[in-house]
């Protein structure tokens, strides 16, 4: 069964890398392997296959960390805390990756590395939350206290995310797809008409995109499985000594 997932991941990742990088981007796609041109994005559109999955995994990792945190609070099983912390550690890695790929993309499409667009703000907050989570963990020495308080902190910090994900993008002006902009004619805030912001993926791009999401999610679970098993082994071997 394990070998099955590994081979599946190998195939999917190969498909995603080839499918993301090889197909030419043309103005009027005729063949199924050609991506349509998006004005203002051109070849830079390809990074979407790698940027969005990292951002998605950042959020998924946080949810898993919180889920196992709550489970720890209920059952007081230290292995749940290990699962929680290894999920968060990987989440931090993907959070950094999402920030870096995003700001590289921003540099070449919007002109500078950082814009304080609502989505950029929210990934920044997530980065801060992850940072604070690990800072808190390192400041607590007893194992039980560390597990308990970091689980509680992850719950409290999670409560702010609806504000960033659902509310602020509707109150602020942004650059990501689905954002608002100021209508130059009337000065009112409206749904954006900019081709980059309005952009919808073509069907063939969407296939690669969802393959990429699946592949990255499997990759994440594999990493996570390895890291929390390593933590468990370390813990057990220390107990034996």
Q: Binders of another protein: how many residues, by CB under 8 A?
A: 26
Residues 141-160, mask of contacts with another protein (x by CB under 8 A):
x---x--xx--xx-xxx-xx
CA distances (Å), origin 190, targets 38, 148, 173: 21, 45, 9
The span from the CA of 77 to the CA of 166, in Å, is 34
Q: Using the minimum distance from each CB to another protein, give the nearer residue, 47 or 125.
A: 125
Token couple for 54: 């990292």
- State which of residues 140, 189, 207, 218 lies at the interface with another protein (CB under 8 A): 140
Q: How far is the CB of 118 from another protein (least distance, A)?
A: 10
Contact of 88 with 133, CB cutoff 8 Å: yes
Q: How far is the CB of 81 from another protein (least distance, A)?
A: 14
Alpha carbon 205 to its chain centroid, in Å, reads 19
Q: Where in 58-117 is the site for another protein (CB under 8 A)?
A: 73
Per CB under 8 A, does 38 bind another protein?
Answer: no
- Return the DSSP state at 185: T
Q: Using the minimum distance from each CB to another protein, give the nearer residue, 172 or 213.
A: 172
Burial 83-105 (b: 16+ CB within 10 A, else e): bbbbbbbbbbbbbebbbebbbeb
- Return the DSSP state at 186: T
Parallel, antiparallel or unpaired: strands 189-191 and 180-182: antiparallel
Token couple for 33: 């392997």
- State which of residues 3, 139, 193, 203 lies at the interface with another protein (CB under 8 A): 139
Q: Where in 160-189 is the site for another protein (CB under 8 A)?
A: 160, 163-164, 167-168, 171
Q: How far is the CB of 218 from another protein (least distance, A)?
A: 29
Contact of 146 with 134, CB cutoff 8 Å: no
Q: How far is the CB of 129 from another protein (least distance, A)?
A: 5
- State which of residues 24, 39, 131, 178 lies at the interface with another protein (CB under 8 A): 131
In the complex, which residues of this chain contact another protein (CB under 8 A)?
73, 125, 128-129, 131-132, 135-136, 139-141, 145, 148-149, 152-153, 155-157, 159-160, 163-164, 167-168, 171
């Amino acid at each position: 069964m394990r070998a099955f997932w590994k081979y599946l991941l190998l195939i999917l990742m190969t498909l995603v890398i080839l499918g993301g990088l090889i197909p030419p981007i043309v103005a009027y796609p005729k063949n199924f392997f050609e991506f349509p041109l998006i004005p203002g994005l051109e070849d830079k559109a390809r990074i979407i296959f790698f940027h969005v999955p990292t951002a998605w995994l950042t959020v998924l990792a946080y949810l898993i960390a919180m889920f196992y945190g709550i489970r720890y609070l209920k059952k007081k099983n230290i292995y749940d805390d290990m699962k929680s912390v290894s999920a968060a550690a990987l989440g931090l890695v993907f959070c950094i990756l999402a920030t870096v790929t995003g700001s590289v993309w921003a540099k070449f499409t919007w002109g500078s590395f950082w814009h304080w667009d609502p989505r950029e703000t929210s990934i920044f907050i997530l980065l801060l939350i992850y940072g604070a989570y690990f800072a808190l963990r390192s400041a607590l020495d007893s194992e039980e206290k560390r597990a308990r308080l970091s689980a509680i902190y992850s719950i409290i910090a999670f409560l702010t995310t609806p504000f960033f994900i659902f509310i602020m993008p509707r109150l602020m002006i942004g650059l990501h797809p689905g954002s608002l902009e100021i209508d130059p004619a009337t000065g009112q805030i409206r749904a954006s008409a900019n081709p980059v912001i309005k952009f919808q993926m073509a069907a063939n791009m969407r296939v690669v995109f969802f393959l990429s999401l699946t592949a990255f999610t499997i990759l994440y679970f594999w990493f996570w499985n390895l890291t929390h098993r390593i933590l468990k082994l370390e813990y057990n071997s220390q107990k034996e000594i």
